[in-house]
Amino acid sequence: MSSNQKPKATRQAFGEVLAELGTKHTNLVVFDADLAKSTKSEMFAKKFPDRFYEMGIAEANMIGTAAGMAMQGFVPFICSFGCFVTGRFDQIRMSVAYAGANVRVIGTHAGVGIGDDGHSQMGLEDLSLMRGLPTMTVLQPCDELETRQMIEFLMTHDAPAYVRLTRQNLIPVHDGEYRFRLGRVDVLRESATANVAILATGATVQECVRAHEILQKQGVQITLANVPTIKPLNSDDILDIAKGHRWLLTVEDHYTIGGLGSAVAEIISDRSGPTRLVRLGVNDQFGESGEPIELYDKFGISAAKIVQTVSGLLNS
């Protein structure tokens, strides 16, 4: 992990870079659905009030309006909690994805990591919904630097996109040499002797880094990769990692159905070889209220539970 930066929520990094980009890109417009303080789009609103649109608790209207502005050459970012904005799936499906409108859908407060607010506020099916839409790019950064680079990339990306962001602070994983590349897997730790490769995305990447440190002290080598692009995901990168390992372990703060684990399973399902896939995430049940670390432990995606799972695989 990088020691040059302090822990920061990816929603905070998003708000900061969005406000910075507003000066350079005069076609950048931002919409929010009564949650600008929480999504951090308020930073843009304060600097560029004439290009910020507070739509109230009317996400469907926000989506349709943003799609119309995209058709006129603007680059709209529409912001809300992930569960609320993707809950208006029909509008995203028709007005954004089907129309090919270059709208950037920003879903904050992802997963059980939001903690005490409980299931009604937790986006846990959002990746599954957005992955299912043709034309839709689906992204999830793991730290501040990756968030900044993703948002900058989206200013010139020619397709609709969904970006999934955290409420909780995340420890920096990358240093200044890192460059986000659409679709590519970001290998953080690599071992030629490892039998297990972990593929993680978003907030769980830092849990996997911690798990790697624990396992290393125990003399256990693993390969660890960050997957910032859920769709389109580079098949060659996944197959290259799978080729050298007996086990692939995906870790995500999302349902095990439809997220990163499913994306990886789709890639390796037609491949002949000995590699087995295990998916960690919320396993077909509703989230609940609690401290983030308690919930990560309960649902098996904390560093301690990842270590336990890896040990179990190696002893099987």
The kind and range of the H/E element at 51 are none
pLDDT average, residue stretch 145-154: 98
Predicted local confidence at residue 90, as pLDDT = 98
Predicted local confidence at residue 271, as pLDDT = 78
Give the dihedral sign, CA 291/87/186/269. positive
Q: Tell whether the model's pLDDT for residue 4 goes beyond 70.
A: no
- Say which residues have a Cβ less than 8 Å from residue 114's Cβ, sequence separation at least 6: 121, 122, 167, 168, 292
Q: Which two tokens stand for residue 36?
A: 């600008």
Q: Which domains does the chain have, with CATH numbers?
A: 8-170 (3.40.50.970), 186-311 (3.40.50.920)
Q: Tell whether the model's pLDDT for residue 280 goes beyond 80.
A: yes
C-alpha span between 304 and 311 (Å, rounded): 11
Q: Any alpha helices (H) in 196-259, and if so which ranges?
A: 204-217, 235-243
Q: Tell whether the model's pLDDT for residue 274 goes beyond 90.
A: no
The percent of residues in the chain predicted with pLDDT above 70, rounded, is 98
Predicted local confidence at residue 91, as pLDDT = 98
Q: What is the mean pLDDT of the chain?
A: 96
Q: Tell whether the model's pLDDT for residue 245 goes beyond 80.
A: yes
- Buried b or exposed e, range 88-97, using 16+ CB within 10 angstroms: bbebbbebbb
Query: What is the reported pTM?
Result: 0.96
User: Residue 55, exposed/middle/buried by CB under 10 A (0-12, 13-18, 19+)?
Assistant: buried
Q: Tell whether the model's pLDDT for residue 305 goes beyond 90.
A: yes
Catalytic residues: 59
111 close to 167: Cβ distance less than 8 angstroms: no
pLDDT band at 134 (very low <50, low <70, confident <90, very high): very high
Predicted local confidence at residue 177, as pLDDT = 94
Predicted local confidence at residue 2, as pLDDT = 47
C-alpha span between 309 and 112 (Å, rounded): 20
pLDDT in tens, 105-118: 999 999 999 999 99
The kind and range of the H/E element at 256 are none
Predicted local confidence at residue 273, as pLDDT = 75
Predicted local confidence at residue 272, as pLDDT = 64
Q: Which two tokens stand for residue 158?
A: 């020619």
pLDDT average, residue stretch 34-50: 98
User: Residue 152, exposed/middle/buried by CB under 10 A (0-12, 13-18, 19+)?
Assistant: middle
144 close to 8: Cβ distance less than 8 angstroms: yes
Q: Left (φ > 0), alpha (ψ -120 to 50) or beta: where does 274 sit?
A: alpha
Q: Left (φ > 0), alpha (ψ -120 to 50) or beta: where does 209 sit?
A: alpha
212 vs 316, residue with greater confidence = 212
Which amino acid belongs to residue 22?
Answer: G
- Say which residues have a Cβ less than 8 Å from residue 177's Cβ, sequence separation at least 6: none
pLDDT in tens, 183-232: 999 999 999 899 999 999 999 999 999 999 999 999 999 999 999 999 99
